[in-house]
Amino acid sequence: MLCLGAGGGQQAPVLAAAGYCVTLLDISDAQLALDREVCTRHALDVRIEQGTTTDLSRFDSSSFDLIVNPVSNPYISDVRQAWREAARVLAPGGRLIAGSINPLLYLFEENEGEDGKGLTVVHRLPYVESESLDEHDLALAVQGEMVFTWSHSLEDIIQGQIDAGLIIAGLYESKRTDTRAPSINRYAPTYIVTMAEKPGA
Ligand SMILES: C[S@@+](CC[C@H](N)C(=O)[O-])C[C@H]1O[C@@H](n2cnc3c(N)ncnc32)[C@H](O)[C@@H]1O
């Protein structure tokens, strides 16, 4: 299986410990260093690759039965390219489990409000953190040295997977409950998890 955009020492070691044969790809050396640390500590064997979700050309087509992609697509501008690449490297019958963010999160900035929970609509969708990304910025982003955030439309998140040749077999929503979560989470779930299957098994 492929843990995609999943560095940080969480998903890949846990799934390796559960018995999966895991390849991990993430853009950030710092995140991958955490996986190396956890895997060394627990004697887990994970193939670790540094790279971007939008270019999986190092992997053959149909080479994974399962892809787990925690929320990493807000950090790429072209989510549809990531879906196409994921669909290509999935074997027929394989599954892509992907976390995304509901674009409504990006509409608001927080304000004081009467109860300290106020939200003001500030941004239009799709949201781009910086309108003025030049090629140098994008190169740094690709190398994982700068982080920019893009919202993606529900159409790009969901129909984008369908257009990549996958069948959406499940969709789940959840709230962020940690204390750092933006207060919109008090009113609506902002995470989406999709499970998609590649037909043809
Ligand atoms: C929110 S973390 C998700 C994974 C983390 N294990 C977790 O559970 O929070 C987002 C991850 O996406 C990675 N990432 C950002 N842009 C990426 C890209 N273009 N290609 C691959 N990984 C990327 C980051 O380095 C980070 O490890």
Whole-angstrom Cα distance, residue 38 to residue 15? 12
Q: Whose alpha carbon is nearest atom 1 of ligand 1?
A: 71
Whether the predicted model's global pTM rises above the 0.85 cut? yes
The verdict on whether omega for the bond into residue 126 sits within 30 degrees of 0, i.e. cis, is yes
Pairing relationship of beta strands 22-26 and 2-4 according to DSSP bridges: parallel
pLDDT, tens digit (0-9, with 9 covering 90-100), for 135-185? 666 666 655 566 678 899 999 999 999 999 999 999 999 988 887 787 888
Q: How many CB atoms lie within 10 A of CB 77?
A: 15
Atom of ligand 1 nearest to the CA of 31: 27
Q: Ligand 1: distance of its center to the CA of 188 in Å?
A: 23
Q: Ligand 1: distance of its center to the CA of 70 in Å?
A: 7
On average, the pLDDT of the chain sits at: 90
Q: How confident is the model at residue 130 (pLDDT cuts 50, 70, 90)?
A: low
CA separation (Å) from 189 to 102, 105, 132, 158, 177? 8, 9, 30, 17, 10
pLDDT, tens digit (0-9, with 9 covering 90-100), for 51-65? 999 999 999 999 999
Q: Which residue has the higher pLDDT, 40 or 105?
A: 40
**What is the number of residues in the chain?**
201
Q: Which residue has the higher pLDDT, 150 or 199?
A: 199
Q: Which residue has the higher pLDDT, 141 or 24?
A: 24
Atom of ligand 1 nearest to the CA of 52: 20
52-102+151-197 belongs to CATH 2.40.128.110: no
Tell which one of 72, 129, 148 to mutate to probe ligand 1, the residue whose CB is within 8 A of the most ligand atoms: 72
Please report, for the chain, the start and end positions of each structural domain, with discontinuous segments joined by +.
Answer: 52-102+151-197
3 state DSSP class of 66: strand
Q: Are 22 and 47 in contact (CB under 8 A)?
A: yes
Q: Are 174 and 189 in contact (CB under 8 A)?
A: yes
Atom of ligand 1 nearest to the CA of 53: 20
